[in-house]
Structure 1
Amino acid sequence: MTKRDFFRIIIKLFGLYSLILTVFTYIPTNISYVTFQFEPIVLLWIFGAVALTVLVYILLIRKTDLIIDFLKLDKGFDDERIEFKNFNSQKIMQLALILIGGFLIIDYLPDFLQYTYLAFKKEVSPNGLNQLEDFSFGKITDYFNWVISGMNLIVGYILLTNYDRITKWLNRKEKTLGNTV
């Protein structure tokens, strides 16, 4: 594998990770702010930030070679090739998808468990028990963030269990893009 191919894979996987975080974290969190207090400037700010994120994603996925040339990432190495022995681009992509899925689970499992506890506490004692109030850390039951953390756990699980299929799908997209350019 050449150094250029390696940096291509890394940049595309970073773009995929950024898209997942944007779709499942940034957008839902900011839309929840709009639902509590509607202000046009906030909505405009959210659309602008999402548009910027989508443009960065498109740049990272479609213009990878331009980024490598601009940053000169493949220059200054002694060898042209990186030897990973049994690692090819497909294996590296599989490893990256496993890491992304693992990070999603590690990041959102504590939040999901906390929101589950708070929802359970609310259902068990709707009138409120003073003994249990001390353990909630001043947070109210937040079903929206509970659902978002649950969705991130599901996406992480899907990435961990289907990394081979996703890798084949991403490589298929790369080959069809290479044929059209």
Structure 2
Amino acid sequence: MTNKDFFRLMIKLFGLYQFLLLIFTSLPRNLQLLFNDFFSISSIITLILITLFILAVYYVFVKKPDLIIDFFKLDKGFDNNEITVSNLNSDTILQIGMVLIGGFLIVDNFGYFISSFITYFKISYMSENLESLKIFESLILGGANLILGFCLIIYRKQIAKKFQ
């Protein structure tokens, strides 16, 4: 594996993680802003800009990582052009990255999901109010991140084949 291949894999993994975080954190918040402002021009423009930014992150980091490697000259200045790894190939490294990203999503959102779950039922039992709806939204977001983390771990081989 060459240095450029290694950096390409790392940038793709980082890009995938950032893309998933942006999709499941930034986009729902801005959709909520859109509905709260009753489709005002500023909220529509903000949503369009956020969507374009998310697509740009995906394009640059996942589809065209060579742009970043060439811009920062990441593959220059090494004594060897090859990285020797005995039994690791790019598919295995991608699978390890998927497990790490999925594990981080699970660990990071498990407590948040359980806390939101308990709080939602406490508040909804007491009364119907706006706070219950906000807690429900955070419950859905935490649940989606947990499901995504489990899917990344379970389907890591299929996902890694898509990135080859």
TM normalised by structure 2 equals 0.89
The amino acid across from 2:140 in the alignment is: V
Which residue in 1 is equivalent to 2:131?
A: 140
The offset of 1:119, in angstroms, is: 1.7
Matched, 1:26 2:19: no
Aligned partner of residue 140 in structure 1, secondary structure: helix
Matched, 1:97 2:88: no
Cα distance in 2, alignment partners of residues 56 and 124 from structure 1: 42
The offset of 1:123, in angstroms, is: 4.0
The offset of 1:143, in angstroms, is: 1.1
Q: After TM superposition, what 4+ stretches of structure 1 lie above 6 angstroms from structure 2?
A: none
The amino acid across from 1:27 in the alignment is: L
Aligned pairs for 1:67-106 within 5 A = 67-106=68-107
Matched, 1:154 2:147: yes
Cα distance in 1, alignment partners of residues 64 and 150 from structure 2: 29
For structure 1, the residue ranges without an aligned partner over 5 or more in a row are 128-138, 172-181
Cα distance in 1, alignment partners of residues 108 and 48 from structure 2: 25
**8 Å contact 1:97–1:159 — kept in the other structure?**
yes
Matched, 1:4 2:4: yes
Cα distance in 1, alignment partners of residues 41 and 17 from structure 2: 29
The offset of 1:36, in angstroms, is: 2.1
**8 Å contact 1:118–1:140 — kept in the other structure?**
no
Cα distance in 2, alignment partners of residues 72 and 14 from structure 1: 18
Alignment: residue pair count? 160
Same amino acid, percent of matched pairs: 38
C-alpha offsets along residues 56-99 of structure 1, whole Å, 9 cap, x if unaligned? 32122232223211211001111111122221111110111011
**8 Å contact 1:22–1:53 — kept in the other structure?**
yes
**8 Å contact 2:95–2:157 — kept in the other structure?**
yes
Cα distance in 2, alignment partners of residues 69 and 168 from structure 1: 25
Cα distance in 1, alignment partners of residues 155 and 121 from structure 2: 32
Which residue in 2 is equivalent to 1:174?
A: none
C-alpha offsets along residues 114-142 of structure 1, whole Å, 9 cap, x if unaligned? 11011221344339xxxxxxxxxxx9332
Matched, 1:41 2:34: no
Cα distance in 1, alignment partners of residues 124 and 49 from structure 2: 39
Matched, 1:55 2:56: yes
Cα distance in 2, alignment partners of residues 144 and 164 from structure 1: 31
Cα distance in 2, alignment partners of residues 93 and 68 from structure 1: 18
For structure 2, the residue ranges without an aligned partner over 5 or more in a row are none
The amino acid across from 1:35 in the alignment is: F
> Which structure has the larger Rg over C-alpha atoms?
1
The amino acid across from 1:5 in the alignment is: D
Cα distance in 1, alignment partners of residues 55 and 6 from structure 2: 23
